[in-house]
Structure 1
Amino acid sequence: MSERRPGLDAQGYIAREGSLARVPPAFRPVVAAARERLPDVFGARLHSAYLYGSLPRGTARVGRSDLDLLVALHEEPTEADRAGARALGAALDEEYQQIDGVGTLLYSRARLLSDAESHDLGWFVACLCTPLLGEDLAERLPRYRPGSLLARETNGDLAPLLARWRTRIAEAEDTDAARLPLVRFMSRHLVRTAFTLVMPRWNGWTSDLHEMAEAFAAYYPPRAEQLRAAAVRGYEPTGDADVLRGYVDDLGPWLAEEYTRVHGVKAPRPQ
């Protein structure tokens, strides 16, 4: 049996990685404001809300990190719900200089608890989200081990994503400023996908991009430096067009093919 790595509990399940207690002091007023205003935005439609990302992990950087929220609604989200989430995010971003943007994911309670999403969005809520408001859906979800099923259902869809990425790159303005968020997003996605490729063999969990890259490097030395560089860009992105071309023409296609070979393809989701 492989060595049990960090990120697991004593029974070998992935441990929930964040908590409100870990939110750095500078960001606590932002979190308090979000918790206070979410019920006003969604009213009786709101089931529960969660933090995820660097804030509940305690690794957020003032002026550099964003506020990441997941909101579970009693019904499927509407355009009005999405507009309300955007307005709330814009207001918080303007009022609190310690954050650099707000991202809010909206899903229905039924979808988050569905069998189809059990090893994707369900796992995300149970292991990577920190309860902020309402009933914690993690109490209705299974526990998760870092196995091949989890790897396939979380990141086994890279191949179709690459086509969308190429379109986004082609449609972006030809400036470093326009490319910078694409480099940041794609770097993070590729590093996380590379990590979950080896996660069952590594037998653990981490959300640190550098740790992810090192875990991957142990199993794929020829691609190690590419992943290490992508991890750096995930935290400190540049607007280099050559980086994006390398992602969609070289690293991405190789990773998608290897992922399919090792874990298979993510099961289709209902539209």
Structure 2
Amino acid sequence: MDDERGLAPDGTIAREGALERVPEAFAPVVEAARARISGTFGPDRLHSAYLYGSVPRGTATPGVSDLDLQLALHDEPTAADRADARAVETALDRDFPQTDGVGILLSGTRLLLSEAERHDAGFFVACLCTPLLGPDLADGLPRYRPTSLLARETNGDLARLLPGWRDRAARGDDRRALGRRVGRRLVRTGFTLVMPRWGGWTSDLDRSAAAFAGFYPECAEQMRLAVATGRAPSPDPAVLSVLIDDLGPWLAAEYTAVHGEKASRSG
């Protein structure tokens, strides 16, 4: 494996996480998540469960990092499924102070394996998620390369997100949550903008920003601000404004010019 570029020997993107990389402090949280998810959803509803983010990558910091999970259900998620997921989130967050929040994504297996999601949700499961429970959906998905198609389908919808972010900022919504979301998404978008030229994959915020800066040095300072905001959002509304009203529109326009817009999803 090319650790510098996150690639397997054949040049495809390697899966970035593994259970053996989970930091010792987070091992009890992961085991509790396994037990609660299994006990709550059961085999009739749950196809498989996955970890993603800093915990399976081995870079999580106790008291700072959150625990992120993806559940693949046999059928499309219902209101009852979402309520059960929220209950699991609340219980884990309450019982384990080493996590700064728990987030569970719910998806049906049909969606995750669909042709429309092949280079978005499918890529996410195959390369960015670490199996925790059940059969691995990655077995039914292709090996991915750092292509313009992958860039377009993962992050080519930034322009559609900006109006909603502006509305939330104007309403004074939780700036901490909004700042983390905006900062991280801008860093990911900046990285995937240059990903095909950089020739690999990383989810690390600092490496992502550095890769971006190698091609767009004039925007490096703003991208470093996005990294800082994604980790520890500033209460200063001017910081969020720089990201949403300055970096965001430029990045969306450049992304569209280089890769095109993400395909619309029906429904």
**TM range, normalised to the smaller chain?**
over 0.9
Segments of structure 2 that go 5 or more residues without pairing to the other structure are none
Question: Is structure 2 residue 239 aligned with structure 1 residue 243?
Answer: yes
CA RMSD of aligned residues (A): 1.3
Aligned ranges 1:112-123 → 2 under 5 Å: 112-123=112-123
The size of the alignment, in residue pairs, is 265
State the 1:172 CA deviation: 2.4
2:8 is paired with a residue of what secondary structure? coil
CA–CA distance in structure 1, aligned partners of residues 28 and 4 of structure 2: 34
CA–CA distance in structure 1, aligned partners of residues 129 and 200 of structure 2: 18
Distance 1:15 1:266, change over 3 A: same
Aligned ranges 1:213-232 → 2 under 5 Å: 213-232=209-228
1:100 is paired with a residue of what secondary structure? coil
Conservation of the 8 A alpha-carbon contact between 2:69 and 2:104: yes
Read off the aligned partner of 2:241 and give its amino acid letter: R
State the 1:236 CA deviation: 2.4
Structure 1 stretch 189-198 or stretch 240-249: which is displaced more?
A: 240-249
Q: Which residue of 2 aligns with 1:32?
A: 31
Question: Is structure 2 residue 179 aligned with structure 1 residue 183?
Answer: yes
Distance 1:146 1:96, change over 3 A: same
State the 1:151 CA deviation: 0.1
Q: Which residue of 2 aligns with 1:192?
A: 188
Segments of structure 1 that go 5 or more residues without pairing to the other structure are none
Read off the aligned partner of 2:252 and give its amino acid letter: A
Conservation of the 8 A alpha-carbon contact between 2:226 and 2:243: no
Q: Which residue of 1 aligns with 2:155?
A: 155
State the 1:50 CA deviation: 0.1
Q: Percent identity?
A: 63
CA–CA distance in structure 1, aligned partners of residues 199 and 125 of structure 2: 20
Conservation of the 8 A alpha-carbon contact between 1:5 and 1:202: no
CA–CA distance in structure 2, aligned partners of residues 100 and 148 of structure 1: 34
Read off the aligned partner of 2:5 and give its amino acid letter: P
Q: Which residue of 2 aligns with 1:257?
A: 253
1:115 is paired with a residue of what secondary structure? coil
Question: Is structure 2 residue 120 aligned with structure 1 residue 124?
Answer: no
Read off the aligned partner of 1:208 and give its amino acid letter: D
Conservation of the 8 A alpha-carbon contact between 2:222 and 2:243: no
State the 1:4 CA deviation: 9.9
Q: Which residue of 2 aligns with 1:202?
A: 198
Question: Is structure 2 residue 45 aligned with structure 1 residue 45?
Answer: yes
**Runs of 4+ residues over 6 Å off in structure 1:** none
TM-score (norm 1): 0.95
Conservation of the 8 A alpha-carbon contact between 2:48 and 2:72: yes
CA–CA distance in structure 1, aligned partners of residues 8 and 205 of structure 2: 21
Conservation of the 8 A alpha-carbon contact between 1:180 and 1:239: yes
State the 1:126 CA deviation: 0.3
